[in-house]
Amino acid sequence: MRKNSTSAIGALHPILFFVLIYGISVCMALFVCRTVYISINGNPDDIAQAEIKAANAGSLVKSNTTSQATALR
């Protein structure tokens, strides 16, 4: 008598292959879309850090001017 059985992994091979390829495609698409978005609009982290530095520099200039004016009195 012949046994007619297939292993579970062999039967699921097409589904696992599809899931793996789909996952890789989604990850690559997100990476490419993010790269294109950043190249067009700039990196939001760099913009936020530049604004923080500008705000800190402005407050530093204001405090230096106030301390110099107080020293002159």
pLDDT tens by residue, 10-40: 788 899 999 999 999 999 999 999 999 888 8
Q: Are residues 8 and 29 in the same domain?
A: yes
CA angle 69, 53, 36 (to 5 degrees): 160
Q: What spatial distance separates the first Cα and last Cα of the chain, rounded to whole Å? A: 110
pLDDT tens by residue, 53-66: 888 877 655 555 55
Q: Are residues 38 and 48 in the same domain?
A: no
Q: Are residues 36 and 50 in the same domain?
A: no
User: What residue numbers bound the domain in which 33 lies?
Assistant: 1-42
